Structure 1
């Protein structure tokens, strides 16, 4: 009898208008209900019927009511849709065209239409725009997608690359997909700049076997007093690229050379990166050279000298080649006078330098590097596990000295540049940290922990006690490394400031510092000093680069581990993180990251507790797992839509 009753409709409207309102972001759960989370930190329950009107990530306006003392949100208006534009997968069922959006979308495939003359097939990845939403007014209150572009065909061998890069470009991350524009000729800029002739000195490069963009070469001799004279020659792309020209603007937008499995996208045009600027053997190249002295105890002296020069690298050596030579194994070195002696000297310098750092600053954990080998279909055919070998250490110690010297010069002359910083421990947590350390027998005053000396001293003590778990736990008390435009301490290195300039072919921050050093000591034009915005852009580009590599590798690992999951293969893994939902572990054999939900750890969820700060998992108040523990697991699910590998812990160890 109340159907179409205008009075009743008006009454309902009045009630709705009288209810308090809130605006927030929708968060879905594994169940049918969800939550509305507001900017002021409040969270409101959204009942299952109302969750059918919204999607994860939608920003909506909702009325807030109370049901049995529990506040609930009822979405009434869409502010912005999480799926306004997205990359999805095409489904073709007979003549019906639908698109499945990416995780965390959990609904059914959405009906789609094509924009223009596009052609799509089943399994293709596309860019879609949402043209309808349940909270819109009719007739646009039904989910519908318009396909506006094709990202990759289902059979494209580079599909994971194209989808991953497109996803980040949609986030306005300016991720390079193609190499930058090249030129037929690159004339030398400012040829009148004075350059020393160092062509007769024994410079050599140590890189990967397939490296083409070689931007640093080393020369070293032992002095009569037992010290070492070390020279690091760095390629000079600024001899060809002017700050602010088209090539420079494109390089700044890229930030870095992007190294992905089977696909490298250079920061500078290929002819510069791989030829004209690369310190290839037996060809003369312009370089910026840093000359340093390191005493017999491994301490870097403070009187480094910089000069422009012409140099000729005498040999291109690989890490494996040099490691084999140092270890006394068979190594085919080029027949160059003095090369074997130079490598022996470089090894002695690197050992002394690492000993000095081990006593005065700190040494780093040497985590294995997993390199994916791909077949002709761009599938993983194998994985090389590379540990930090002696040749890596030799190059690393030389570059650390050069970069510390460059940072000191920039701080003195310009008080500006691109500086890598490490703030150490969080000042807001340091009092609690000192108490925790005291409980474990480490006595440190909070103020001392906030200094570079205190930070490094603690790391050395942890290393001496082989306290890997506690060292890993203390990372929760550290601030993140950053990039700054003015000198700031690098607690991790125990340095007043640290600025890299030895990779100007591959990193725009290094190219910036390279130009500033040239201007300060070599008479080149002074470029604009970097700003805080420049530093933030470089950090964002670096973070994006790491995220892209992680997402792409996850995609490749999912294909690679398909048979292992099907055959219930066991893997050894090391736990490296504990969060609210479970633990993250890295497979020792191949480096894949696996998520183990708590439901796959213990059947009684109420008996299980996690402590993300301590990095522990307890059952009935007894710690059963902690970060750094090695465990045995099996893979239970591979989800390409979520780029997620799920596993389950096993009770028995591997044989």
Structure 2
């Protein structure tokens, strides 16, 4: 009688509209049910049947209902699928194509169509790039995908690199550019400095060498350092096809044993690389330092030049010689004198920055040793040595000079920005410090001077737990087109220009420096679209680097028998479900589930905010502590390593 009655339909719509709706992210579990996570503190139960409509990571709007005195949500509308473009493995079943996403939270096969050229011998297990075309929450009967690119055969040793780069929509090879189209622009006069004893210091295997150093003392005893930086903008015109390619890439992607250049290798590793005895165009900065390391900015000079490296040295050889190790020694007294002066200036500048700015806390670098066939031979921990510090201090000084030069002359450029703490986190820090009888004002630590004062105090206190807690309140760094402080360095401004072969932002600053030096051309402020592009590409590059390393760690550790080996590990994070540690031997991240920390889950509390695991009310594991662990499971598909503490 009332079927399809207008009043009844209106009442149903009214009741439906009154059901509360919330937006969140789907989190799945191994038991079939899931949760809708609103924030780090709030989540709601999703029944197993409803979880079949969504995937882990989907952003959805859901209805919130009360059932059996429990809040339950029903996904209703898809805001953003977690899987859009994704990588996976082909599965061929009775001549039908399916793809298994390379995603540990979704293990079902997805039916797919093919929109790309596949090898004739394509097999189950080969890697592809796919795009999700149908989603169940959008009313589709099933999830469907379309294969859009073949990546690699299942047995290709480059799978970890190629698949990861495709996953993050990053290029897998150098730009395609014909040699005859790369022409040197010789419009500007250059000072000939090819007679000076410039040297380069880099890794032994480095081919894209973009900086060279020459040092001397003036009559007043001041250090005079000339930093020469390769000038790729003399080959790449603004707005050209190659320039647009460089902007789109934004960076050279450096992965273990594998790099994808921003510029064609004919430029990055040949015409613009400051190789020994090769005449190269460069932009140089001549910097004067007094005896305590203070930069005499009134004397700083930027100019266009021709340089020729007289010696191509490696970090290891230089460090060994300066540390009186090994058998290598400089080929001439001129080179030896350069190294001794650079070493002296380096120590002076480190002390100056320690007093007037800030130093980064040193951490070991983990290096993957690969064979020519990309087999992982070893993963080693390497500390920063004196030769690395010499180059680092030289580049930091040159970048600081460029930041001041651009600020004084133009008031804009590409600046590296780091703002320290925001107001909310500053209040939390002041409250935390008070528990250790350390008194600071909120407004004080939000200033550059106050931030530096706090950092120096923390570095002098033997409390790594406190340093770690405060580190977590730091804002993220980024770039801007106007000057701003870089709190982490302790500088009022900072602008990099010393890596133009591998960073597009540095190419922009090169062009601005050229306009100032020559007085020709128009200096254009970088627009927000360019800034966003560079920031986004940096984020993708960091994620790709992390993913490749995690993949290689799993391959490496799975190939070894570590069942009885005990590792020293540092606690780097604590979450609700357990502890994340880093193996000191090789840098691998290992997860220790809370179920393996203590047998009774009702007696254990993992407090992420405090960075402490409590067992029966007592502090048991504290972030930044060193503990002993063993490995119990290495999951290749999930790229995860599971361990447990040695008690």
How far apart, in 1, do the equivalents of 2:37 and 2:191 lie? 64
How far apart, in 2, do the equivalents of 1:40 and 1:650 lie? 30
| TM-score with structure 1 setting the length | 0.90
In the alignment, structure 1 residue 562 sits paired with structure 2 residue 562: no
How far apart, in 2, do the equivalents of 1:102 and 1:183 lie? 36
Correspondence for 2:526: 530
How far apart, in 2, do the equivalents of 1:79 and 1:433 lie? 36
Correspondence for 1:172: none
Correspondence for 2:407: 411
How far apart, in 2, do the equivalents of 1:649 and 1:338 lie? 55
CA apart distance, 1:13? 12
In the alignment, structure 1 residue 639 sits paired with structure 2 residue 635: yes
1:152/1:63 CA distance change after superposition, 3 Å: same
Correspondence for 2:29: 29
Deviates more, 1:34-43 or 1:472-481: 34-43
How far apart, in 1, do the equivalents of 2:305 and 2:41 lie? 59
Pairs within 5 Å for 1:291-310:
291-303=286-298, 304-310=300-306
CA apart distance, 1:606? 2.3
Do the aligned partners of 2:380 and 2:585 also contact (CA within 8 Å) in 1? no
Deviates more, 1:38-47 or 1:143-152: 38-47
1:524/1:187 CA distance change after superposition, 3 Å: farther
Deviation string for 1:589-644 (max 9, x for gaps)?
11111122212222222222223233222212222122221111122222333322
Pairs within 5 Å for 1:157-556:
157-169=157-169, 175-185=170-180, 186-189=182-185, 191-303=186-298, 304-556=300-552
In the alignment, structure 1 residue 620 sits paired with structure 2 residue 616: yes
How far apart, in 2, do the equivalents of 1:136 and 1:445 lie? 52
CA apart distance, 1:571? 1.4
Pairs within 5 Å for 1:70-89:
70-75=70-75, 81-89=81-89
Instruction: Point out where structure 1 has 5 or more consecutive residues left out of the alignment.
Output: 170-174
CA apart distance, 1:26? 3.2
Instruction: Point out where structure 2 has 5 or more consecutive residues left out of the alignment.
Output: none
1:68/1:574 CA distance change after superposition, 3 Å: same
Match of residue 18, structure 1, among 10, 15, 40: 15
CA apart distance, 1:294? 0.9
Do the aligned partners of 1:228 and 1:295 also contact (CA within 8 Å) in 2? yes
1:536/1:570 CA distance change after superposition, 3 Å: same
1:207/1:562 CA distance change after superposition, 3 Å: same
How far apart, in 1, do the equivalents of 2:116 and 2:472 lie? 52
CA apart distance, 1:65? 3.5
How far apart, in 2, do the equivalents of 1:12 and 1:562 lie? 61
Do the aligned partners of 2:116 and 2:147 also contact (CA within 8 Å) in 1? no
Deviation string for 1:538-563 (max 9, x for gaps)?
12211211110110111111111114
How far apart, in 2, do the equivalents of 1:350 and 1:203 lie? 17
| TM-score with structure 2 setting the length | 0.91
CA apart distance, 1:129? 4.6
Q: Secondary structure at the match of 1:225?
A: coil
How far apart, in 1, do the equivalents of 2:40 and 2:387 lie? 53
Do the aligned partners of 1:129 and 1:145 also contact (CA within 8 Å) in 2? yes
Correspondence for 1:151: 151
Match of residue 576, structure 1, among 572, 576, 601: 572
Deviates more, 1:560-569 or 1:294-303: 560-569
Deviation string for 1:464-485 (max 9, x for gaps)?
2233221121112211112111
Do the aligned partners of 1:182 and 1:271 also contact (CA within 8 Å) in 2? no
Pairs within 5 Å for 1:25-174:
25-36=25-36, 43-58=43-58, 62-75=62-75, 81-92=81-92, 98-112=98-112, 114=114, 118=118, 120-130=122-132, 134=136, 141-169=141-169
CA apart distance, 1:424? 1.2
How far apart, in 2, do the equivalents of 1:543 and 1:136 lie? 30
Q: Secondary structure at the match of 2:310?
A: strand
How far apart, in 1, do the equivalents of 2:559 and 2:602 lie? 34
Deviation string for 1:403-441 (max 9, x for gaps)?
100000111111111111111122222233123223213
Deviation string for 1:197-221 (max 9, x for gaps)?
2121111111111111111111111
Deviates more, 1:405-414 or 1:473-482: 473-482
How far apart, in 2, do the equivalents of 1:392 and 1:116 lie? 46
Do the aligned partners of 1:23 and 1:59 also contact (CA within 8 Å) in 2? no
How far apart, in 2, do the equivalents of 1:493 and 1:599 lie? 41
Deviates more, 1:74-83 or 1:255-264: 74-83
Q: Secondary structure at the match of 2:266?
A: helix
How far apart, in 1, do the equivalents of 2:164 and 2:271 lie? 31
How far apart, in 2, do the equivalents of 1:445 and 1:23 lie? 38
How far apart, in 1, do the equivalents of 2:517 and 2:80 lie? 53
1:618/1:489 CA distance change after superposition, 3 Å: same
Q: Secondary structure at the match of 2:350?
A: helix
Deviates more, 1:37-46 or 1:560-569: 37-46
Cα RMSD after superposing both structures: 2.8
How far apart, in 2, do the equivalents of 1:525 and 1:378 lie? 47
How far apart, in 2, do the equivalents of 1:178 and 1:133 lie? 33
